Amino acid sequence: MAKMKIAWLLLLLLVSVCVTASQVWALKSPFHPRDVLPLLPRQLSWPILNRLHSAVDLLPVFVGAAFSPVDNLKWKGACFYENKAWMVFHNKSGTQYGGGTLHIKVSNAHSWTCMDLYIFASPYRVTWDYYFLAREHTLEIKEWEGKAEYEYVKNHGLSIFLLQAGMLGTLEALWEVFPLFTNTGWGENSNIKFLEKHMGASFEVRPQPFVTNVSVDDIHSGDFLAVSKIRGRWGAFETLEKWVSGAYAGHTAVCLRDSSGKLWVGESGHENEKGEDIIAVIPWEEWWDFELNKDDSNPHIALLPLHPDLRARFNETAAWEYALSMAGKPYGYHNMIFSWIDTLNGNYPPPLDANVVACVMTIWSQLQPEYAANMWNEALNKRLGTKGLDLPEVLVEVEKRGSSFDELLTIPEQDYWTYSDGKSTSCIAFILEMYKEAGLFDPISSSVQVTEFTIKDAYILNFFENNSSRLPKWCNDGDTVKLPYCQIKGKYRMELPGYNTMQPYPHMNEKCPSLPPKYSRAQNC
């Protein structure tokens, strides 16, 4: 207790010194309270640090691109409040296209102990640097990667990204990100806090039992399974997916009955014995047993029964033909991100934007070129009508056509596109494509691209039961709150805002914004 009192007094003294120095003497503070927090006792410093920065602060912010020898690119940094940059081309290497020097002049730091971190990127390279001293700094590029990079930087510049939280803030943000991926109670609580903070989600504890005694006789073909995982690797990925898309579930599956009445589950994203994520159709009891006893991501599961009118229209034969034609194919990585990005700037939670997406893609392409090619290169080529271009070549081609990368990302995915490994469907696209084949989108089926739907876009469709008296008797059994769907597993009550409210229409979800925390959508987008 004595140490805590001393620590608090030290913190108050630091704040007083900084305020006095800045307000009375108008001098730069020798330090900022945030710069010295890690020196304080852990029980005092970390709660404060965690409030100052979050996982989102790991994302770089695009401040501009330098291509001119004139210092007309200016911005405010996290540490240095006055910064400017310019590019000087040269041929010190004596090569055909030479190289260049990026000049960055930083000044007016908010303290003597802070620093700014930057990422510099073109379609062909990514590097980084940090600045601690107020002076002119340089980044030397000895040689451009041929004519393509030279022309690109000359016309569009070398992109500059600021890690807005600074050195300390980045470490703090890492402290918030790391537990998201841990398969522990700490990780689960971290995912919950992230979703509460950045989406406004609520996690109300349900009355026990947290698992429903499901009667499979009440489950029909086409019934929808919404899954929300909140711990471990998949829990973390789903948390980030929910944040950018506004969905309150991160995975989906669909129920099917065969001709003998046996219940099956169709799922894109089922892990096979080789550890690969594939499309699979497995018996209900096998799927349910895994979720109850083997899935360590603490999945919360809701069953969304189809409306009786839709169930009567559901063509089981066509649904089975589609499911079996896709079984064994890889999960739909090719188009996974494109269902989320529909607009130039209305789908990126700050500080995300198209420049940051391009930067992340460039970094990933250099670290994992095969994985990057699978994730987006083929899909970007589809949008350009080209074949075999890698990411740098795609970026150059876009500029040649007078377009931009952010415009390219908004081009709607087409359900008929076939990739090198076949048709590509994410978990939700697989289900909605089955719904199309089964007749649920008729008569507008040909004008709906379901690969443009997020999970939220799916569960807001008015395809589901809207009369609670027709829900199975075991639905929400024991819960004091009667949901309009059946939550069959999970400690926390699942919420699906906008559930069962949207009539499908042509070109649905091709131009929809989705910004937190309300994720409001434009009419008929």
> What is the rounded average pLDDT of the residues 366-394?
83
Model pLDDT for residues 235-284, shown as the tens digit of each residue: 888 998 999 899 999 999 999 999 999 999 999 999 888 888 899 999 99
pLDDT of 156 higher than 90: no
pLDDT of 353 higher than 60: yes
Distance of CA 392 to the CA centre of its chain: 22
Nearest residue to 113 (alpha-carbon basis) of 36, 31, 14: 31
State residue 480's pLDDT score: 87
Contacts with 230 (C-beta within 8 Å, 6 or more apart), sequence order: 188, 191, 192, 238, 239, 297, 298, 300, 492
Lowest-confidence range among 27-31, 168-172, 342-346?
Answer: 27-31
Classify the C-alpha dihedral 212-213-217-221 as positive or negative.
Answer: positive
> What is the rounded average pLDDT of the residues 396-404?
89
Token pair of 203 as six digits? 């996690």
Residue pair 425/326 in contact by the 8 Å Cβ criterion: yes
State residue 162's pLDDT score: 87
Token pair of 314 as six digits? 């559901």
- Is the model more confident about 379 or about 357? 379
pLDDT of 7 higher than 80: no
Nearest residue to 338 (alpha-carbon basis) of 259, 417, 260, 271: 417
Instruction: Say whether the peptide bond before residue 351 is cis (omega within 30 degrees of 0).
Output: yes
How is domain 187-336+422-489 classified at the CATH fold level? endopeptidase fold (from Nostoc punctiforme) (3.90.1720)
The pTM assigned to this predicted structure is: 0.76
Beta bridge partners of 281: 266
Residue pair 425/279 in contact by the 8 Å Cβ criterion: yes
- Separation of first and last alpha carbons in the chain: 58
State residue 30's pLDDT score: 40
pLDDT band at 71 (very low <50, low <70, confident <90, very high): confident
> What is the rounded average pLDDT of the residues 380-406?
90
> What is the rounded average pLDDT of the residues 50-55?
47
> What is the rounded average pLDDT of the residues 505-515?
94
In which residue are the tokens 């080529």 written?
381
Nearest residue to 496 (alpha-carbon basis) of 450, 468, 456: 456
Give, in degrees to the nearest 5, the angle at Cα 360 between 427 and 509: 40
Contacts with 383 (C-beta within 8 Å, 6 or more apart), sequence order: 408, 411
Mean pLDDT (the chain) is 84
pLDDT band at 20 (very low <50, low <70, confident <90, very high): very low
Token pair of 479 as six digits? 């819960």
Model pLDDT for residues 207-226, shown as the tens digit of each residue: 998 999 999 999 999 999 99
State residue 392's pLDDT score: 85
pLDDT band at 430 (very low <50, low <70, confident <90, very high): very high
Residue pair 121/141 in contact by the 8 Å Cβ criterion: no
**Pairwise CA distance, residues 362 & 126, whole Å:** 7
Model pLDDT for residues 184-206, shown as the tens digit of each residue: 898 899 899 989 988 999 999 99
pLDDT of 448 higher than 70: yes
pLDDT of 310 higher than 60: yes
CB atoms within 10 A of CB 260: 5
**Pairwise CA distance, residues 304 & 512, whole Å:** 24
pLDDT of 151 higher than 80: yes
pLDDT of 25 higher than 90: no
Model pLDDT for residues 89-108, shown as the tens digit of each residue: 999 989 999 999 999 999 99
Model pLDDT for residues 462-504, shown as the tens digit of each residue: 999 999 999 999 998 888 899 999 999 999 999 999 999 999 9
The rounded percent of the chain whose pLDDT value lies above 70 is 84
CB-side neighbour CA atoms (13 Å) of 182: 13
CATH 3.90.1720 segments of the chain: 187-336+422-489
State residue 57's pLDDT score: 54
pLDDT of 29 higher than 50: no
Token pair of 204 as six digits? 């109300």
State residue 78's pLDDT score: 85
